[in-house]
Amino acid sequence: MKKSALQIARAAYQPKLPVDLSGFVKVVEGEPTQSVADQEEIKALFPNTYGLPELRFEKNPVQTVGKPVNVGVILSGGQAPGGHNVICGLFDGIKKINKSSRLYGFLMGPGGLVDHKYVELTAEVIDEYRNTGGFDIIGSGRTKLEKQEQFDKGLEILKKLDITALVIIGGDDSNTNAAVLAEYYKQIGAGVQVIGCPKTIDGDLKNEVIEASFGFDTATKVYSELIGNIQRDCFSAKKYWHFIKLMGRSASHIALECALQTQPNICIISEEVEAENQTLQDVVNYIADIVARRAANGENFGTVLIPEGLIEFIPAMKNLIGQLNDLLAKNPEVATLSPAEQREWVLSHLTEKNASVYASLPEGVARQLTLDRDPHGNVQVSLIETEKLLSEMVARRLEEMRKEGKYNGKFSALHHFFGYEGRCAAPSNFDADYCYALGYNAAMLINAGVTGYMSSLRNLTAPSVQWLAGGIPITMMFNMERRHGEMKPVIQKALVKLDGKPFQRFAAKRADWAMSTSYVFPGPIQYFGPAEVCDQPTRTLYYEQLDK
Amino acid sequence: MKKSALQIARAAYQPKLPVDLSGFVKVVEGEPTQSVADQEEIKALFPNTYGLPELRFEKNPVQTVGKPVNVGVILSGGQAPGGHNVICGLFDGIKKINKSSRLYGFLMGPGGLVDHKYVELTAEVIDEYRNTGGFDIIGSGRTKLEKQEQFDKGLEILKKLDITALVIIGGDDSNTNAAVLAEYYKQIGAGVQVIGCPKTIDGDLKNEVIEASFGFDTATKVYSELIGNIQRDCFSAKKYWHFIKLMGRSASHIALECALQTQPNICIISEEVEAENQTLQDVVNYIADIVARRAANGENFGTVLIPEGLIEFIPAMKNLIGQLNDLLAKNPEVATLSPAEQREWVLSHLTEKNASVYASLPEGVARQLTLDRDPHGNVQVSLIETEKLLSEMVARRLEEMRKEGKYNGKFSALHHFFGYEGRCAAPSNFDADYCYALGYNAAMLINAGVTGYMSSLRNLTAPSVQWLAGGIPITMMFNMERRHGEMKPVIQKALVKLDGKPFQRFAAKRADWAMSTSYVFPGPIQYFGPAEVCDQPTRTLYYEQLDK
Q: DSSP characters for B155-224?
A: HHHHHHTTEEEEEEEE-HHHHHHHHHHHHHHHHTT---EEEEEEB-TT--S--SS----BTHHHHHHHHH
* Model-wide pTM > 0.90: yes
> What pLDDT score does B460 carry?
97
Q: At what angle do helices A280-296 and A352-360 cross, to 10 degrees?
A: 40
Distance of residue A544 Cα from the nearest chain B Cα, in angstroms: 21
Query: Which residue in A has a C-alpha nearest to residue B426's C-alpha?
Result: A523
Q: How is the beta sheet containing B70-75 ordered, strand by strand?
A: B24-32, B53-60, B468-473, B453-458, B193-198, B163-170, B70-75, B102-106, B118-120
CB A386 within 8 A of CB A311: yes
Strands A468-473 and A53-60: antiparallel
Residues 350-369 of A with CB under 8 A from B: none
d(CA B175, CA B198): 7
**For residue A532, what is the nearest residue in chain B, using CA coordinates?**
B5
Mean pLDDT across chain B, nearest whole number?
95
Residue A336 has a pLDDT of 83
Residues with Cβ < 8 Å from B340, sequence gap 6 or more? none
B31-70: pLDDT as tens digits: 999 999 999 999 999 999 999 999 999 999 888 878 999 9
Strand partners for B242: B303, B414
The residues facing B168 across adjacent strands are B74, B196
- Mutation site for A-interface testing, chosen from B2, B7, B232 by largest number of A Cβ within 10 Å: B232
Are B350 and B323 within 8 A, CB to CB? yes
The pair phi, psi for residue A452, each rounded to 5°, is 75, 20
**Is residue B226 within 8 angstroms of chain A, CB to CB?**
yes
Residue A518 at interface with chain B, using a CB cutoff of 8 Å? yes
Asked about A202 being catalytic, the answer comes back as: yes
Cβ of A420 under 8 Å from any chain B Cβ?
A: yes
- Residues 6 or more apart whose Cβ sits within 8 Å of residue A454: A175, A178, A195, A196, A197, A198, A210, A471, A472, A473, A474, A477
Of the two residues B232 and B338, the one the predictor is more confident about is: B232
CA distance A453 to B108: 60
- Express each pLDDT in B442-469 by its tens digit: 999 999 999 999 999 999 999 999 999 9
- Rounded CA gap, B348 and A153, in Å? 64
Q: What is the dihedral of CA B42, B48, B50, B54, to 10 degrees?
A: -160
Query: What is the pLDDT at residue B402?
Result: 98
Mapping DSSP onto H, E and C, the string for B440-466 reads HHHHHHHHCCCCCEEEEEECCCCCHHH
Residue A520 near residue A263, CB atoms below 8 Å:
yes
Q: Is B116 left (phi over 0), alpha (psi -120 to 50) or beta?
A: left
Contact A523 B426 (CB under 8 A): yes
B420–A229 CB contact, under 8 Å: yes
- Note whether B38 contacts A: Cβ–Cβ < 8 A: no
Q: What is the pLDDT of residue B376?
A: 64
What is the C-alpha to C-alpha distance for residues A173 and B33, in angstroms, rounded to an integer?
A: 71
The answer to whether the CB of A441 falls within 8 A of the CB of A22 is no
Which tens digit of pLDDT belongs to each residue from B469-519? 999 999 999 999 988 778 999 999 999 999 999 999 999 999 999 999 999
CA of A440: how far to CAs of A69, A134, A437, A456, B56, in Å? 14, 19, 5, 11, 60
B371 touches chain A (CB under 8 A): no
Contact across the interface for A136 and B232, Cβ inside 8 Å: yes
Spatial distance between the Cα atoms of A283 and A273, rounded to a whole number of angstroms:
8
Distance between CA atoms of residues B265 and B231, nearest Å:
10
CA B537, B539, B544: angle at the middle one, nearest 5?
A: 100
Is A263 in CB contact (< 8 Å) with chain B?
yes
Q: pLDDT tier at B333 (50, 70, 90 boundaries)?
A: confident
Q: Which of A172, A173, A202, A217 is catalytic?
A: A202
What pLDDT sits at residue A371? 74
Q: Are A505 and A248 in contact (CB under 8 A)?
A: no
Query: Is the pLDDT assigned to residue B279 strictly greater than 80?
Result: yes
| Cβ A76 vs Cβ A170: under 8 Å | yes
CB-nearest partner of B136 from A228, A229, A235:
A235
Give the 3-state secondary structure of residue B76.
strand
Handedness of CA B33, B38, B43, B46 (dihedral sign): negative
In this prediction, residue A375 carries a pLDDT of 64
Provide, as residue numbers in chain A, all residues whose Cβ is less than 8 Å from the Cβ of B263: 2
Region B308-334 average pLDDT = 90
Q: What is the pLDDT of residue A125?
A: 98
Task: Tell me whether residue A58 is exposed, middle or buried, using C-beta atoms within 10 angstroms of its C-beta: 0 to 12, 13 to 18, 19 or more.
Answer: middle
Residue in chain A lying closest to B261 (CA): A4
- Which pLDDT score is estimated for B483? 81
Mutate to test the interface with B, among A424, A527, A536 (most CBs of B within 10 A): A424
Q: What is the distance of C-alpha A246 from the center of its chain? A: 12
* Partner-chain contact A522 B263, CB within 8 Å: no
Contact A441, A86 (CB under 8 A): no
Q: How far is it, in rounded angstroms, from Cα A415 to Cα A390?
A: 10
Which amino acid appears at position A56 of this protein? Answer: R
Question: Do A526 and B530 count as a contact with CB atoms less than 8 A apart?
Answer: no
List per-residue pLDDT tens for chain A, 548 residues long. Answer: 899 999 999 999 999 999 999 988 999 999 999 999 999 999 999 999 999 999 999 999 888 878 999 999 999 999 999 999 999 999 999 999 999 999 999 999 999 999 999 999 999 999 999 999 999 999 999 999 999 999 999 999 999 999 999 999 999 999 999 999 999 999 999 999 999 999 999 999 999 899 999 999 999 999 999 999 999 999 999 999 999 999 988 899 999 999 999 999 999 999 999 999 999 999 999 999 999 999 999 999 999 999 999 999 999 999 999 899 888 888 888 878 888 888 999 999 999 999 999 999 988 888 888 876 766 667 777 778 999 999 999 999 999 999 999 999 999 999 999 999 999 999 999 999 999 999 999 999 999 999 999 999 999 999 999 999 999 999 999 999 988 778 999 999 999 999 999 999 999 999 999 999 999 999 999 999 999 999 999 999 999 998 67
Name the residue facing B523 among A108, A426, A533 (closest C-beta).
Answer: A426
Q: Does B452 touch chain A (CB under 8 A)?
A: no
Instruction: Indicate the DSSP class of residue B421.
Output: T
* Chosen from B421, B505, B535 to mutate, greatest number of chain A CBs within 10 A: B421
Sign of CA dihedral A464, A468, A471, A474: negative
Q: In this predicted structure, what is the pLDDT of residue B372?
A: 67
* Phi and psi at residue A397, to the nearest 5°: -60, -40
Compute the nearest-CA separation of A373 from chain B (Å). 16
Report pLDDT for A249: 80
Q: Give me the mean pLDDT over the B345-364 stretch.
A: 92
Considering only the beta carbons, identify the residue of B7, B236, B533 that sits closest to A424: B236
Chain B, nearest residue to A3 by Cα: B520
Residue among B431, B454, B430 at smallest CA distance from B208: B454
Dist. CA A8–CA B328, nearest whole Å: 57
Phi, psi of B524 (to 5 degrees): -75, 160
3-state secondary structure B249-308: CCCCHHHHHHHHHHCCCEECCHHHHHHCCCCHHHHHHHHHHHHHHHHHCCCCCEEEEEEC
CB-nearest to A135 from B1, B228, B236 is B236
What is the ipTM score, two decimals?
0.96
pLDDT at A168: 98
Q: What are phi and psi of B115, to 5 degrees?
A: -90, 5
- Does residue B548 have a pLDDT over 80? no
Other residues' Cβ atoms within 10 Å of the Cβ of residue B14:
10
Residue B252 has pLDDT above 70, yes or no: yes
Distance CA(A393)–CA(A272), nearest Å, equals 20
Backbone φ and ψ of A520, nearest 5°: -115, 140
Q: How many CB atoms within 10 Å of residue B325? A: 17
Residues of B in contact with A532 (CB under 8 A): 5, 9
Instruction: Please indicate whether, in this complex, the C-beta atoms of B79 and A237 are within 8 angstroms of each other.
Output: yes
CB contact under 8 A, A134 and B242: no
**Does the CB of A273 have a partner CB in chain B at under 8 Å?**
no
DSSP state letter for A167: E
